[in-house]
Amino acid sequence: MKQRFSRRDFLGTTIAATAAGSLSAADESAQPIPTRVLGKTGAKVTIIAMGCGNRWLSYGSEESALEALNLALDSGIGYLDTAYGYSRGQSETWIGKVMKTRRREVFLATKIEPRNGDEAMKLLDNALKRLQTDQIDLISVHSLTNEDDLAQVEAKDGILNTLYKLRDQKVTRFVGITSHTDPMVLKSALERHDFDCCQMALNAALQGMRAGGGGNMAINPAMKTSFELVALPVAVKKNLGIIGMKMMAQDALLEPGPRQKDPAKLFRYTLSLPIATAIIGMPKHEHIVRNAEWARAFTPLSNNEMKEFSRQTAEQYKASIDLKFDGHIDA
């Protein structure tokens, strides 16, 4: 694995507070969740974020989902990640019920699926109403897949120019892009365009991830392609606000059996990378409480620990994770 981009320096300067691992449970619960600077945006965000996709929607009812969301905010988690594609705006609508009274506590991010600018604008006009706010902190192009997809995003009438206009108009503070499909395409997008933030799949199993997403299965165990090795260095060089996701591969790394990985170590691995925050789906209250506790007590893995853990995890899981995310729809 390549050198990790002055990771220790990054962590030393961007973590605002870290609880010591020896704290008692009572003392730990009183500590704030650490924050890091979201790259060139200058915004400070908590090192974990509440993912409000299908795992949050799995609470089932609005009442249950809002109870979980308020628990996350009460636990100190100050970043919410949503998208229109999460049940056609239902996630945004439910979040808006809480934003009506707690907007100032939250860095609010949403994502937009249409690649045509006019179509995207229609959905985003209504997103402000659903979220009950007059400004969204971050709007991202949702789930970049392949080169053809990127060509649509960056077309003259594409979504990217629309997002730039919304940034100029202060409808959104920042513009981003997300991908869990093809590291090389995300790398190209980051090199070509003026993004403030990027969100990518980062976990210990993805070393050697194949290139060429979107159904062209060509898994090669020797391939040294992953978001961490290909796209992340570009984001670091451009000082983008970097957001990790899929740290546990939507629990695929936690399936019972001899290969099951330690979730706490998976958590530490992703947060030991030079990222500002990591999006985590939390479909149970105990997940919210546990992740907040892990965030308060976070200490980075050493480079050697990361290298060995990643080697073992990739050997065990890389092929199956490639298959899982090849046709995965972020919904």
Mean pLDDT computed over 106-114: 98
Mean pLDDT computed over 254-265: 77
Q: Which element (helix H / strand E) includes 312?
A: helix 303-326
Nearest Cα residue to 190 out of 200, 182, 181, 198 = 198
pLDDT at 13: 42
Mean pLDDT computed over 296-323: 84
Confidence class of residue 318 from pLDDT cuts 50, 70 and 90? low
Residue 119 in this model has a pLDDT that exceeds 70: yes
pLDDT at 323: 55
pLDDT at 1: 40
The DSSP bridge pattern shows strands 48-51 and 136-141 to be unpaired
Mean pLDDT computed over 1-8: 44
The conformational region for residue 178 under phi > 0 = left, psi -120 to 50 = alpha, else beta, is beta
CA 67 to mean position of chain CA atoms: 22
Confidence class of residue 146 from pLDDT cuts 50, 70 and 90? very high
Q: 93-97, 154-158, 314-318: lowest mean pLDDT where?
A: 314-318
pLDDT at 326: 57
Token pair recorded at residue 169? 């108009």
In this predicted model, which residue has the larger pLDDT, 166 or 256?
166
Q: Which amino acid would we find at residue 35? A: T
Q: 61-65, 68-72, 201-205, 312-316: lowest mean pLDDT where?
A: 312-316
- Backbone dihedral angles phi then psi of residue 173, each to the nearest 5 degrees: -80, -35
pLDDT, one tens digit per residue, over 59-73 is 999 999 999 999 999
If 0-12 CB within 10 Å is exposed, 13-18 middle and 19+ buried, where does residue 49 land? buried
Confidence class of residue 221 from pLDDT cuts 50, 70 and 90? very low
Q: Which residues contact 111 (CB under 8 A, 6 or more apart)?
A: 81, 82, 83, 84, 85, 139, 140, 141, 142, 143, 178
pLDDT at 206: 75
Nearest Cα residue to 197 out of 318, 41, 91 = 41
Mean pLDDT computed over 85-99: 97
Half-sphere exposure of 145 (CA within 13 A, CB side): 16
Kindly provide the b/e burial profile for residues 121-136, where b requires at least 16 CB atoms within 10 angstroms of the residue's own CB. Answer: bebbeebbebbbbeeb
Mean pLDDT computed over 85-110: 97
Cα–Cα distance for residue pair 241/3, rounded to 1 Å: 20
Q: How far separated are the first and last CA of the chain, in Å rounded?
A: 32
Mean pLDDT computed over 130-145: 97
Residue 122 in this model has a pLDDT that exceeds 90: yes
Beta strands in 265-311 (DSSP E): 277-281
pLDDT at 117: 98
Cα–Cα distance for residue pair 14/136, rounded to 1 Å: 23
pLDDT at 261: 80
CA 2 to mean position of chain CA atoms: 22
Cα–Cα distance for residue pair 202/208, rounded to 1 Å: 12
- What is the DSSP secondary-structure string of 46-70? ESEEEE-SHHHHTT-SHHHHHHHHH
